Amino acid sequence: MQLLKPAWVNHEGKAIFSVDLHPDGSRFATGGQGQDSSGRVVVWNLKPVVHEKYEEDEKVPKLLCQLDQHLGCVNSVRWSCSGRFLASAGDDKVIIIWQQSSYGGGAVFGSNVVNVESWRSVATLRGHEGDILDVAWSPNDVWLASASIDNNVIIWNAAKWPEQVRVLRGHTGLVKGVTWDPVGRYLTSQADDKSLRIWRTTDWTTEETLIEPFTECGGTTTVLRPSWSPDGQYLVSAHAMNNGGPTAQIIDRDSWNTDKDFVGHRKPITCVRFNPNILKKADKSVQYCCVAIGSRDRSVSIWFTSLKRPLVVVHDIFDDSVLDLSWSSCGRYLMGVSKDGTLAFINFSHHEIGFPLSEDETNALHLKLYGKSAHTSVSAANPTIIENPELLRLREEECARAKAASATSNSELNQRPTPPTPQRAPINKQIETRTADGKRRITPMFIPPIEGVETPNKSYEASFSSSQQERSRIVVERVDEVVEPNVSTSSRPLPNAAFGHSPSKPAAQPPLPAEFNGVAPGLPARFGKSDSEKPSDQVNIIQVKRKQEEPHQPVVKRKRGRPPLYDRSSAPQVTPRTPTEPTPPPPAPAPVSRQPPPTVAQPVAATLVVLPEASMSKATRIQVPGERSGDAPPPLLVVENDYRTTSTSTTSSLGPPSLHRVSRTQVNTASWTTFLTSRITAAAASSTTAALTCQDKSLHVLDIITGEMLLPPLQLPSRASQLFLHGGSLAVLTTDATLTIWDLTKRKRVLAESIRHLVEGRSGGVKCVKVGLDVEEGNNDNKNGDGCSNSENNGTPVLLLSSGEAFVRCKDLGAWLLLGDTASVRRAVQPEYTLLPPCHAPGQVQEVSRPLASLLHQTAAYSGSSRVTRPVISEDARRSLTEVFINRMLTSARYLKSSQDYKFWLKRKIQFFIKEGLEKKLREIFDDLLGPRQGSSVENSETKCWMPKIMEFDKKSLLEEFLREILLAKNSLQLQRLYSEYKEQLDSTAVDMI
- For residue range 631-655, what is the model confidence (pLDDT) as tens digits? 678 888 999 998 876 654 444 455 5
Q: Does pLDDT of 202 surpass 50?
A: yes
Query: What is the average per-residue pLDDT within 467-472?
Result: 38
Residue 454 has a pLDDT of 36
User: Side-chain half-sphere of 243: how many Cα atoms within 13 Å?
Assistant: 18
Coil, helix or strand for 984? Answer: helix
CB 156 within 8 A of CB 163: yes
**Domain range summary for the chain, segments of one domain joined by +:** 1-92+94-127, 917-993
Residue 627 has a pLDDT of 60
Query: pLDDT-derived band of residue 101, with 50, 70 and 90 as boundaries?
Result: confident
Coil, helix or strand for 236? Answer: strand
Q: Does pLDDT of 555 surpass 60?
A: no
Query: pLDDT-derived band of residue 945, with 50, 70 and 90 as boundaries?
Result: confident
Backbone φ and ψ for 508, nearest 5 degrees, come out as -70, 140
Residue 528 has a pLDDT of 41
Q: By mean pLDDT, which of 2-11, 368-377, 449-458, 796-805 is the weakest?
A: 449-458
pTM of the model: 0.47
- At a CB cut-off of 8 Å and minimum separation 6, what does 808 contact? 773, 786, 796, 797, 798, 799, 816, 817, 819, 896
Query: pLDDT-derived band of residue 926, with 50, 70 and 90 as boundaries?
Result: confident
Residue 421 has a pLDDT of 42
Query: pLDDT-derived band of residue 369, with 50, 70 and 90 as boundaries?
Result: confident
Q: Does pLDDT of 536 surpass 80?
A: no
Coil, helix or strand for 315? Answer: coil
Residue 700 has a pLDDT of 94
**Per-residue CA distances from 218 to 18, 222, 241, 244, 245 (Å):** 22, 11, 10, 11, 12
Taking Cα atoms as reference points, which of 860, 856, 751, 846 lies closest to residue 797? 751
Q: Does pLDDT of 80 surpass 60?
A: yes
User: What's the length of the chain?
Assistant: 994
The whole-chain average pLDDT of the chain stands at: 76
In this predicted model, which residue has the larger pLDDT, 832 or 506? 832
User: Side-chain half-sphere of 584: how many Cα atoms within 13 Å?
Assistant: 20
Pick the most confident of 539-553, 623-637, 664-678.
664-678
**Using one digit for the tens of pLDDT, what is the confidence trace for 718-730?**
999 988 887 788 8
**Using one digit for the tens of pLDDT, what is the confidence trace for 119-131?**
999 999 999 999 9
Pick the most confident of 165-179, 654-668, 887-901, 909-923.
165-179
**Per-residue CA distances from 552 to 143, 181, 186, 438, 439 (Å):** 52, 41, 42, 9, 9
Residue 493 has a pLDDT of 38
C-alpha span between 784 and 809 (Å, rounded): 12
Q: Does pLDDT of 446 surpass 60?
A: no
Residue 406 has a pLDDT of 62
- Residue type for 352, please? E
C-alpha span between 613 and 737 (Å, rounded): 11
- Residue type for 982, please? Y
Q: Which CATH number fits domain 1-92+94-127: 3.40.50.2000, 3.10.20.740, 2.40.10.120, 2.130.10.10?
A: 2.130.10.10
C-alpha span between 533 and 531 (Å, rounded): 6
Residue 771 has a pLDDT of 66
**Using one digit for the tens of pLDDT, what is the confidence trace for 238-259?**
999 988 899 999 999 888 998 8
Residue 853 has a pLDDT of 80
**Using one digit for the tens of pLDDT, what is the confidence trace for 384-430?**
455 566 666 666 776 777 777 666 554 444 444 444 444 444 445 55
C-alpha span between 89 and 55 (Å, rounded): 30
Q: Widest CA span of the chain, in angstroms?
A: 103
Query: What is the average per-residue pLDDT within 950-970?
Result: 85
In this structure, the dihedral spanned by the alpha carbons of residues 63, 64, 69 and 74, taken in order and rounded to 10 degrees, is -60
Find the DSSP H helices in 519-619: 565-569
Query: What is the average per-residue pLDDT within 127-142?
Result: 94
Residue 484 sits at the vertex; the CA angle it makes with 481 and 488, to the nearest 5 degrees, is 155
- At a CB cut-off of 8 Å and minimum separation 6, what does 818 contact? 805, 806, 807
CB 31 within 8 A of CB 17: yes
C-alpha span between 344 and 326 (Å, rounded): 11
Task: Indicate the pairing of strand 245-252 with strand 234-242.
Answer: antiparallel
Pick the most confident of 132-136, 389-393, 637-641, 956-960.
132-136
Query: pLDDT-derived band of residue 713, with 50, 70 and 90 as boundaries?
Result: very high
Query: pLDDT-derived band of residue 209, with 50, 70 and 90 as boundaries?
Result: very high
CB 343 within 8 A of CB 16: yes
SS3 percent helix, strand, coil of the chain, rounded to 5, is 20, 30, 50
Residues in a beta bridge with 208:
198
Query: What is the average per-residue pLDDT within 472-500?
Result: 44
Query: What is the average per-residue pLDDT within 737-756?
Result: 87
- At a CB cut-off of 8 Å and minimum separation 6, what does 623 contact? 169, 172, 634, 635, 636, 637, 685
Q: By mean pLDDT, which of 125-129, 341-345, 477-481 is the weakest?
A: 477-481
Q: By mean pLDDT, which of 88-92, 203-207, 648-652, 819-823 is the weakest?
A: 648-652
E strand segments, 417-523: 429-435, 440-443, 475-483
Find the DSSP H helices in 729-845: 756-759, 823-828
Helix and strand element counts for the chain (H, E): 15, 52
Residue 607 has a pLDDT of 57
Taking Cα atoms as reference points, which of 280, 275, 290 lies closest to residue 326? 275
- At a CB cut-off of 8 Å and minimum separation 6, what does 414 contact? 832, 911
Query: What is the average per-residue pLDDT within 848-874?
Result: 72
Backbone φ and ψ for 503, nearest 5 degrees, come out as -70, -15
Taking Cα atoms as reference points, which of 58, 42, 56 lies closest to residue 9? 42
Q: Does pLDDT of 695 surpass 60?
A: yes
C-alpha span between 460 and 288 (Å, rounded): 9
Coil, helix or strand for 57? Answer: coil
CB 62 within 8 A of CB 8: yes
Q: What percent of the chain has pLDDT over 90?
A: 34
Q: Does pLDDT of 102 surpass 50?
A: yes
Residue 592 has a pLDDT of 41
Q: Does pLDDT of 66 surpass 80?
A: yes
Q: By mean pLDDT, which of 129-143, 169-183, 607-621, 669-683 is the weakest?
A: 607-621
Query: What is the average per-residue pLDDT within 17-39?
Result: 93
Query: Which contiguous run of DSSP H or E holds residue 336?
Result: strand 333-338
Backbone φ and ψ for 361, nearest 5 degrees, come out as -65, -40
Residue 285 has a pLDDT of 77
C-alpha span between 338 and 67 (Å, rounded): 20
